Chain A
Amino acid sequence: MSEPAIEIQNLTKKFEDKTALDNLNLEVSKGELFGLLGPNGAGKTTTINILCGLVKPLCGTAKIYNHDVQKETRQVKELIGVCPQETAIYPYLSGDENLELFGNLHCMNKKLLRERSKLLLATLGLKEDAKRVSAKYSGGMKRRLSLALALIHDPQVVFLDEPTVAMDPQSRHAVWDFIKNQKNQGKTVVLTTHYMDEAEELCDRVGIIDHGKLIAEGSPKALIAERQVKNLEELFIKLTGRNIRGEP
C-alpha cells in the first residue's frame, strides 16, 4: 500500500449508552477513492465527523496526512473538504456568493478564488445560475452547489457524505464524473453512500461497517469474488442482514 492519507487506529465513540464506533481501524492511501458503506446508524457519519474534528472520540487516534485530527485541527482543516449529508448552503446567497464566502473562509486569494469558482460552477452545471440566489435552485442543483463548496479550496482529502442522495440520474452521473476527476487529480476521496452501484462504479476499495465495527474491507471486485456474490448489494445484505435500521 502506498503512503497513507488517513490512518484510523482503535477509534471508539459512544453517544450516551450507544456505541457508535467500536475499536475501528482503517487506512486510506493517498489518491485512493474509498467507499465507506454501512446501514443507517452504522457509524459512517460519526467516522467522518471525527476525521473533520467535529466530534471527539472516546479513545483511539485518527490522522490525516500524518496530522492528528484532535491535536492539529488547524492543519487538518486546511487539508480537508467536506460535503455533508444535508444540503448545507446559504439560501439567500447566490451560487457564486456561496463559493466566494467559503473561499474567503479558506483565505484564498481573489484571483484564484474567481478561477476556481468558475471552474466548479461550469463542471457541476451551475454556470448559468451562478448569479441566482440558491433558494431558487432545484434540489439537485443545491446538492451540486453543496459539493462545490466542499472543493472550492482544492483540498487534498475530500469527504463526501452521501453526495448523490435525491439526485436525478443526470445529476448523479455528472457528480460521478466529477468524483472520478478528483481521483484523477490525485485527491484522496472518502465516499459514504447507500447506493451500492455507485460504490461499485467509483471506489477503488470499500469498507463496510456495522455497529461501529469494520466487517469487510477490499476492492469491490475482490470482495464479490471472495464472498461469491453477484454484486456489492448482495454482499452488503449478506453481511449486515435484512433488518431495517433507524438513524442513531
Chain B
Amino acid sequence: MKLQRIAALAKKELKRTIREPAVLFIIFLFPIVFVFAFGTSFGGVGGAQTVSYHIGVVNMDQASNVNASQILVSALVNTKIINLDVYASNATAQSDLSQGNVQAVIVIPSDFSGSLASYQAFSNEPSKWTNTSVQLYLDKGSLVATQAVPPIIQQALASVAGQTRQLQIPFQIQTASLVETKVTSTLDYIAPGMFTFASIFLIMMVAQSFTTDRENGMMKRIRITPTTPSEFMASQVISYMCIALIQAALVFAMTYALGFRPAVGASSFSFAFVIVLTFSLSNVGFGLITATISKSASAATGLSFLFVLPQLFLGTFVGASLSSSAQVVGKFVPSYYVTNALSSLFLRGTAITTPAVLVDLAVVSISCVAILAAGIVLYARYYKI
C-alpha cells in the first residue's frame, strides 16, 4: 500500500465534503442546525431564570424543649432561593436525588436539637458541647448545586446557633458523597444521541460519492491508475473517519454552547470520540451497500434512508420515546450501543472501564467492522473498485 495514493484520495474526498454545498449541508450544517433547534427547544437556553435550588430534608432529629431542626428549616426557607421537600426516609430522598428530582439532600441527625441545647447552655465552653454532623448529599451532575448549596447550608447552620456568620458552632456539615444523577435536563438527555445522529448521514454521503464517481467515469479512471482496491478503500475509510471526527467535535461544541456540561473527565470524552469513529465504519459499510444496490446517485439518496432511518429512530435520542418493542428492535442497530455508551458516560458518569460501557464498545466494534467488510465485499462483487 502506498501512503501517497491513500493520502491523495482521502484529501480529495475531504475537499469534496467542503466544496460541494449539498454535501457540506448534510454532513456539517444539518447536524449543527438540528442540534441548535433541538437544544433551544428543549434545553432551556436563553432567558433569565430565577436561581433556586431544590433540596430534600430528612429530619431524624429527636427534638426536646429546643426544636433546632425547625429553626434550620425556617432558616433555609428564609433564604428565598431554596425549595424544600421533606422526606420521611433517607431512602426515598436518595432515590429522588439519584433521579435528579432534587439537587441535594440534608439529613438532620437525631442529636441535632440536643447539640443546640448544649451550645445554648455552655456557649463559651466548647468542650461541653454535644458535637454533631448534618449529612449533605449533592447531585454530582449539577455543578451549580455542588458549588452553591454547601455555603448556604453552612450559613443556615450558623443562624441556628444565633450567629450571623460562620463561627465556632457544634454542628458541622459532613458531605457524605456526591450522588450521580440519572436525569438532568432534556438537553443532557438527548445530547448523547445527537453525537450518534450526526454520523448516520455519512451513509448517504458515501453512497452518493460512489455512485456519482461511477456515473461520471471517475471510478473507471482511478481503476486505470496503479491504485489498488485496498488503497482506495483505505482512503475512503480514513476520509470518512476524519469527517465523523469533525462532526462529533462540531456537535459537541454546539451542545456545549447550549448548556451541555457533562461532569466527566478527558478519558470519557476520548472514549466518546473513539466510539463515534468506530461507529462511522458501519456508516461507510451501509453507504457501500446502498451504492451497490443503487443505479444512480439520485437513487442512492433515496435508498440510503433504508439504513439511515432505522439507525436514527431506533438508536439515537429518538429511540427513548419509542414503544418497548421498538426499543428491543433497536438492539439490532449499532447506533443503539453508541448512544447507550455515551449516555452511560455523560448522563450517569459511568467510568469507561465499567463492563457495560466496554460491552457497548465491543458490540459497536465487531458489528461495525462486519458491516464495513460486508459493504466492501458486496460492492466489489458487483462493481470493480
Interface residues of A in 91-118 (CB under 8 A from B): 92-93, 97, 100-102, 104-107
Contact A105 to B222, CB < 8 A, known contacts A86-B217, A88-B216, A88-B217: yes
Within 8 A of B (CB), among A190-206: none
Q: Which of B261-276 contact A (CB under 8 A)?
A: none
Among A74, A84, A104, A149, the residue within 8 A (CB) of B8 is A104
Residues of chain B at interface, number, CB under 8 A:
24
Instruction: Indicate if the CB atoms of B221 and A149 lie closer than 8 Å.
Output: yes
Assembly CA distance A97 to B216 (angstroms) = 18
Proximity string of chain B (210-230) to chain A, C-beta cutoff 8 Å, 1 when within and 0 when not: 000000111011111111000
A127 CA to B358 CA in the complex, in Å? 56
Q: Which residues of A contact B381 (CB under 8 A)?
A: none
B227 close to A105 (CB less than 8 A): yes
CB of B65, distance to nearest CB on chain A (Å):
85
Complex alpha-carbon distance, A133 and B18, angstroms: 13
Interface presence of A126 (CB below 8 A): no
- Asked if A172 CB lies within 8 Å of chain B CBs, one says no
Q: Tell me the complex Cα distance, A36–B154, Å.
A: 95
Determine, out of A75-83, A177-185, A229-237, the stretch whose residues face the partner at the interface.
A75-83
B67 to chain A, nearest CB (A): 77
* Inter-chain contacts of B218 with A (CB < 8 A): 88-90
Residue of A nearest to B6 (CB): A104
Note all chain B residues with C-beta closer than 8 A to A106.
Answer: 225-226
Cβ-defined contact, A88 with B220, below 8 A: yes
CB distance from B363 to the nearest CB of A (A): 37
- Whether A90 pairs with B225 at a CB distance below 8 angstroms is no
A206–B227 Cα distance when bound, in Å, is 32
Residue interface mask A164-177, B partner, CB < 8 A = 1: 00000000000000
A54 within 8 A of B: yes
Mostly, the B contact residues are helix
> Which residues of chain B come closer than 8 Å to A52, judged between CB atoms?
224
Query: A90-B16, A92-B15, A92-B19 known; A105 and B226 CB under 8 Å?
Result: yes
> Which of A74, A80, A86, A104 makes the CB contact (< 8 A) with B7?
A104
CB atoms of A84 and B221 under 8 A apart: yes
Measured between C-beta atoms, what is the minimum distance from A161 to chain B in Å? 10
Q: Which residue of A lies closest to B8 (CB)?
A: A104
For residue B1, give the distance in angstroms from its CB to the closest CB of chain A: 11
Neighbouring A residues of B216 by C-beta, 8 Å: 86, 88
Chain A residues within 8 Å of B224, by CB: 52-54, 77, 80, 82
Contact of B217 with A92 in the complex, beta carbons under 8 Å = no
Q: Which residue of A lies closest to B216 (CB)?
A: A88
Residues of A within 8 A of B16 (CB): 90, 92
One digit per residue, 1 when the CB lies within 8 angstroms of any chain A CB and 0 when it does not, for chain B 1-15 equals 010110111011001
Measuring CB to CB, which residues of chain B are less than 8 angstroms from any residue of chain A? 2, 4-5, 7-9, 11-12, 15-16, 19-20, 216-218, 220-227, 384
Known: A105-B225, A107-B5. 11 other contacts (CB 8 A): A54-B220, A54-B223, A54-B224, A82-B221, A84-B221, A86-B217, A88-B221, A89-B218, A104-B7, A105-B5, A106-B225
Pairs A–B under 8 Å by Cβ, sample size 30: A53-B223, A53-B224, A54-B220, A54-B224, A74-B226, A77-B224, A77-B226, A78-B226, A80-B224, A82-B221, A82-B224, A88-B216, A88-B221, A89-B218, A92-B16, A92-B19, A92-B20, A101-B8, A101-B11, A102-B225, A104-B4, A104-B5, A104-B7, A105-B8, A105-B9, A105-B225, A106-B225, A106-B226, A107-B5, A107-B226
